Structure formats: C-alpha cells, structure tokens
Amino acid sequence: MPLLKDKTGQVNTSSQVEGTKKSLTRSLVHSFKKTFQQSLSIAKAPLFHYLLLVFLVIMVLSIVLPFLVLLLASSSLSVNIDFTYNGFKSATELSLDGSARITPNGVLQLTNDTKELVGHAFSSSPIQMLLNTRSITPTTISFSSTFVFDIITVGDAGGHGLAFAVAPTKTLEGSCCQYLGLLTSRNNGNSSNHLFAIEFDTVQASVLLKDIDGNHVGVDINSLVSNVSKTASYFTNNFKMVEFELESGQPIQAWIDYDDIAKILNVTVAPLSVGKPSLPLISYAIDLSLIFKEYMYVGFSSSTGKLSSSHYILGWSFRTNGVARSLDLSHLPLPPQPAKASSTSKGSGIKIGVISSLATLLLVALVLSVSWHFWQRAKLAETLEDWELDYPHRFPYKDLYKATKGFKETEVLGSGGFGLVYKGTLPSTGEEIAVKRISSNSKQGVREFVAEVACLGHMRHRNLVQLQGWCKRNEDLLLVYEFMPNGSLDTFLFEGERCRLLSWDERFKILKGVASGLVYLHEEWEQVVVHRDIKSSNVLLDAEMNGRLGDFGLARLYERGKNAHTTLVVGTLGYIAPELSRHGKPMASSDVFAYGILLLEVACGRRPIEPTAPAEQLLMDWVRECNMKGQLLEVVDPKLGESFVQEEVELVLKLGLVCSQSIPEVRPTMRQVIQYLNRNDNLEDDVALVFSEADSFDLATRNSYLSSFDIVSSSSHGGGTLV
C-alpha cells in the first residue's frame, strides 16, 4: 500500500480506497432496502398515502444517486504520493542494494570510489503511475521530483555517473560502467524494460551508446542511448547558457517535472548555489503511458567502472499530481570528505607520484643550476699574471662578457685591424661602451702591448675617442672605448643608403677635429704617439657630429728625440707611407701621410683604392693628375653638387697632396696642417710637390713589394690592414 510522507520524512497511514468503496455501498443498499419495504407497506393505503410514497422514493434517489456516481468514478482515482527527505537518516521506506548505503550523518551513498560497483536506492512500495489501465488509452499520472546530488572524485578522472529512474522493479540487474546499473548489454533497448531514467553521465561511453561528451544530462527510455541529451549547463536570468562540471565535487540540484496533460517532460539542473533557473535544460515531448506500468518504483541507480567516483544523494522530494516540495537546503547533510589515502590507495599513489616527480624535477633543476653556475664561473674565470696588477684601468672579463651579451654577433659594430668591435653596456653603471676584441695571433708581446695601452688610457682630448681601459684573458686582449652613437665617418661617406649625406661644413669640421687630435698625440702629450692606422673607418662621430680619432690598437709610443724600435709594417693599404716599406719604423710623418689620404678621401667621396676602377686605382694618383691639368675641382664628391666652399675644397685637396708627398721630410707637421686649415698660415698655390715613381705602383705591385717585409694582412674597408 503506498504511503504518504511529510516534509520531515515521517510516515502517515492513508485511508484504503477499497474499504471506502465497500462501506459506501453497504450504506446505500441498506437505505434503499428500508425505503422499498416502507413503500410496500404503504401501497395498501389510500391514494394520498400512495402519492406520499412516490415523493419519498424520489427524495431518496436524489440523495443516493450522487453517491452512486462517486462510487462508479472511484475506480479511476488514485492516492497522491508526497514525500520529502531532507537527509536520509530516518528513511525506512527505501530499499537499498549493491554498494548503496546511508552514512551516519544521513547521506545516501550510491557508490564509493571502488572500481566496477553498482548501487540502487528505490522506494520500498510501488507507486501508481497509470489510471484507467483497463481502458484502451490509460492515463499517466503527472509527477514532480527534485533532489540534490554530489559526485566526488579522488584524482583526475572518475565515473561513471548516476540516474533518477522509474522502473517496474526495485531490484534492477543492471551492469556497471556505462550502463549505470540500469540495464545490461543484453536487454539494452528492449521495449519490455518499461524503464524511464534521467542520466547524469560523467564518462563519454563507447560509440554504441552515442554519448555526446563526458559531462551530460540525458533522457533514457528503455535504453542507455539517450532520446535527448545536453551538456550539463543552466540558463541565467539573461538567458545565457552556463556550463558546469557534474564531477566538480560541489552539490548540484536537479528538477524533473512531467505534465501528463501537455505530455511534456522538463529537466532542469544547476549548482546548488545558483537556485532553480527559469528555463529547463531539456524540454521533451513524450507520452509516458506507453512506457509505464500501473505501479512503478522510483529511485536512483549508479555505477563505477575502471574510472570511479563516490556518488551521493543529499536530499530528495517526490510528488504525484503536484509540484514536489522544496528541500530545506540549510539542513541537508554533507557528504563525507575523501578519506586520507593509505599507502596502497590510488590517491596515495598519485600523490606520491606527483611528489616524487616534483622532487626529481627540483633535484634535476638544482643540479643543472649548480652545474650552470660553475660552468659560468669557469667560463668567466681569469688567471691574472703578477705584472697585470701593475697597470691601471683593467676591466674584469665577466663585466665585459655581460656588457656585450656574451660577445653576441648582434652586438658587433664593425671590424678593426685585429678583430671585431662590439657594443656593450656596463652592468654596474649602465654606461654604453665599445669593446674591441683583439685576436690572439698578434706577434707583439702581450706585456708590452698592455703597458702601452695602459699609458694611452691617460690621454684626454676632445677629438680622441677615450680609451677607458683594457682586459686580458688567456691570449685574448680587449680594449674598452667610450661609445660613439653616430658610428664611423666611412659609413656616411660610402653608405649613403644607410646614413644621411654629410654637408661640406660638417666634413670640414670633422677634418679639423682629427687634425687637432693628431697634434695632441704628436706634440702635446708626454710621449710621442704614432697612431699608425688613420683612416675614415677609425674616425668616429659623437652626438654633435664632432670627428674623434679612435682605435689605438696599433698605436706606438716613444720618447721625444728618439726613434721607434718596431720594424713591423702596419696600417691599411692606401694609407701606408712609402718609407715604411723601406725601414718599417713609424714616425709622426707617416701619420701625416695617412691624414693626407684622409683629406683626399673626404673631399672626393672615394676610397683610397678602388679595385673596380683600374684606370684610377689610387686616389692620390687621380687627384695629382687632375691638379696637374688644372682640373682639381673635377675630383670633388659629386654628391655635394654645388653645395661647398670652393676655397676650402681646394685647400683640403692641395693640403692632401702636400701631406702625401713621397719624402717624409717635406711633409708638414700636424701643427702646420692645423694652421693651414684655420687660415692662420697660407698654403702657396705653386707649392712644389715631391712624388716618386714608386708611389704610382698599382696594388698588385705594391703588395708584391711589401711582401718582402714582416707583415700580416687582414680585410678592412680600405682594402687590407697590415699588422
């Protein structure tokens, strides 16, 4: 006999329909019999009495007839079922099997997280779900249910889910895994199952069951292939669909409502904190009278497989012919927290694996970090010789390594006589520098070289690139200069596509600046300094486009009144004074010769040697020839157009020829050159120029001639640097 329960879950006994029918029948028969007997006794009376009898019979029939109609209709009435469980601690009207149990605090647990379990929880007594079963068209009883469930997974993935079910029996023989304990592979899809279920599935099953994903809600009729299914989600008040995870470990509430008149099934689901959405997730037209039997059992089914979760029902309300009562959410019990895993549990294995992996990674990272640290220290380590401590302005190698980003190719500014020049930024001060890394194959003594560099570091002049310091590591030598933001003069002269055109005023200003720097080197410093590599690529331009002579890697110092001792021929072809090919001793006059070539180069916009122009290979020969023909202005850089001062251009060209004469004794000093450029002294127009035939040798002849001396060559802008 179906039972009524109030919202606290207590049982109240209902009146019996059949007893009511019998009692009512007996009363009506007894009344009718008594009235009939009285009518017989009165029938012998006079006419008045007869009429009175007819009236009484009519009165009795008017009273009894409605009860007869009610009696006949009572065969099609059912008793309404209404029960609510705000927790299952006192739920005695539930039938549990498989792994299902009620926890001490009143939570209905369908499965734990053991693999391949099945758990059922159904009403102990059947519930009438059909009316007029003897009719050709029986009627389904409308019903409504709401419940709160929670699926808790230990680890990354669980399964398989749970289902609200209406079944003809409370002892289903369903399989585990994707069948959710409802059916088996043998009877899945049979119409004789008379099974209705709403599945909450957390695993996408095989192709056989056609699951849309591993997080969906579906309507199942006699089969686990859902008639309709949707990804778990709900609608907000703005009609925006929000998806959520059934396997989130947080309580979720579901509402299932079937209207027999409209033949519509509505399924709504949302996290407990959201409340009931205004729109259902699934609204499905279906006639359940074709599925249900007269009496059915309602409840829940769940299963696990190779993937497992704990499935809980926290509260449940069910009602026929009406809306299910709301659950008292504040009094619902909470599911037990996952037990602390033992050393043999799956959770422990995962945790141990994760911890072990992290520990291994940390250990490997530590070893790599320590190894990298020691490798970097070894890479940047320096072994100083005693004599190195005697010379100032020494930079630590690690500072220069960091400044140039490990001497990356992207930091290369250009190449010099001995090696590459890098741009750098000192990590301690942020100052920009230029670092020249000198090749280790120099034939000069390292100690002598460092001694001279240390002396050069004391020089200060506005037209010299300041040598800030030096460094020696093994056989590598590094010179540190202040950084010139506008690069070198040759870039502006010969790479116009990269730089703007230099005006004549700027060129003249640069030439006077370089001359001033050479005067300081030759006459004004404490020792005579011969630069030995004056050329346009060694003239650097500061932010104000002032010319500053740089790259002292080949410079040599000697005391005034004495001669240099070196016999190495150094410099760049096209700038080397002819006397160096005879005795190899650098003098201030050899710098004057190179400066003369620089004067011609700047005025003409041509390199000293042009291999692509055989007829005019040497710039000096070409200018001398045009001067002898009275066509000196023909050699002016065509890029200048008419934008130059003729007197200044002629002065620069003639002074270039004067400085580049063959005999060093007839060349002017750099102080005299300054006086000419500043117009403090006049350069005679008919000055006699002394040149020898050797000056006109072509490049191949000159190389052959110089090969008899102790020289080493490497590529450079001017055509070749001799070291």
Digit-coded pLDDT (tens) for 30-51: 655 565 555 555 445 555 565 6
Q: What is the crossing angle of helices 588-604 and 504-519, to 10°?
A: 180
pLDDT of 134 strictly over 50:
yes
pLDDT of 341 strictly over 90:
no
pLDDT of 285 strictly over 70:
yes
652-662 per-residue burial string, b: 16 or more CB within 10 A, e: under 16: bbbbbbbbbbb
What are the φ/ψ torsions at residue 216 (nearest 5 degrees)?
-140, 165
The confidence score (pLDDT) of residue 693 equals 53
* Angular region, 263: left φ>0, alpha ψ -120 to 50, beta rest: left
**496 or 514: which leads in pLDDT:** 514
pLDDT of 336 strictly over 60:
yes
pLDDT of 375 strictly over 50:
yes
pLDDT, mean of residues 277-298: 95
| Calpha distance 586→593 (Å, rounded) | 11
What are the φ/ψ torsions at residue 162 (nearest 5 degrees)?
-140, 170
Instruction: Tell whether the torsion through CA atoms of 461, 465, 470 and 474 is positive or negative.
Output: negative
What are the helix (H) ranges across 179-327?
Answer: none
pLDDT, mean of residues 270-294: 95
| Calpha distance 223→675 (Å, rounded) | 110
pLDDT of 434 strictly over 80:
yes
Sheet holding 713-714, edge to edge: 571-572, 721-722, 713-714
pLDDT of 669 strictly over 80:
yes
Instruction: Tell whether the torsion through CA atoms of 533, 665, 709 and 558 is positive or negative.
Output: negative
**Which of the residue ranges 88-97, 242-251, 470-479 would you say has the lowest mean pLDDT?**
470-479
Q: Which residues pair with 476 in a beta bridge?
A: 473
Q: Find how far residue 438's CA is from the centre of its chain.
A: 42
Which one, of 595, 506, 145, lies nearest residue 326 by Cα? 145
The confidence score (pLDDT) of residue 349 equals 67
Q: Where are the beta strands (DSSP E) in 249-369?
A: 252-259, 264-271, 282-285, 295-303, 310-320
The confidence score (pLDDT) of residue 11 equals 39
pLDDT, mean of residues 263-290: 95
Q: Are 395 and 386 in contact (CB under 8 A)?
A: no
Digit-coded pLDDT (tens) for 82-131: 999 999 998 889 999 999 999 999 999 999 999 999 999 999 999 999 98
Q: Is 533 a catalytic residue?
A: yes
User: Is beta strand 241-243 parallel, antiparallel or unpaired with respect to 252-259?
Assistant: unpaired
DSSP 8-state code for residue 106: S
What pTM was computed for the model? 0.47
Q: Which amino acid, one-letter code, is at 463? A: N
Residues whose CB is less than 8 angstroms from the CB of residue 154 and which lie 6 or more positions away in sequence, other chains included: 113, 338, 341, 346, 347
Among residues of the chain, what percentage have pLDDT more than 90? 50
Q: Where is mean pLDDT largest: 252-256, 390-394, 422-426, 624-628?
A: 252-256
**Which of the residue ranges 185-199, 446-460, 575-589 would you say has the lowest mean pLDDT?**
446-460
pLDDT of 343 strictly over 50:
no
470: helix, strand or coil = strand
| Calpha distance 1→305 (Å, rounded) | 37
Digit-coded pLDDT (tens) for 403-416: 999 889 889 887 76
The confidence score (pLDDT) of residue 254 equals 98
| Calpha distance 551→534 (Å, rounded) | 9
Digit-coded pLDDT (tens) for 539-560: 999 989 999 998 776 777 776 6
The confidence score (pLDDT) of residue 2 equals 42
| Calpha distance 25→564 (Å, rounded) | 146
pLDDT, mean of residues 444-452: 63
Q: Are 160 and 307 in contact (CB under 8 A)?
A: yes
| Calpha distance 409→403 (Å, rounded) | 13
Q: Are 541 and 535 in contact (CB under 8 A)?
A: no
Confidence of residue 76 (pLDDT cuts 50, 70, 90): very low
Catalytic hit among 113, 211, 533, 637: 533
The confidence score (pLDDT) of residue 468 equals 85
Q: Find how far residue 429's CA is from the centre of its chain.
A: 33
pLDDT of 531 strictly over 50:
yes
HSE-CB of 606 using CA atoms within 13 angstroms: 23
pLDDT of 245 strictly over 70:
yes
What's the residue count for the chain? Answer: 723
| Calpha distance 383→605 (Å, rounded) | 47
Residues whose CB is less than 8 angstroms from the CB of residue 489 and which lie 6 or more positions away in sequence, other chains included: 510, 536, 537, 539, 540, 541, 547, 602
Digit-coded pLDDT (tens) for 475-491: 778 888 889 989 899 98
DSSP 8-state code for residue 224: S
Residues whose CB is less than 8 angstroms from the CB of residue 636 and which lie 6 or more positions away in sequence, other chains included: 603, 604, 644, 649, 653
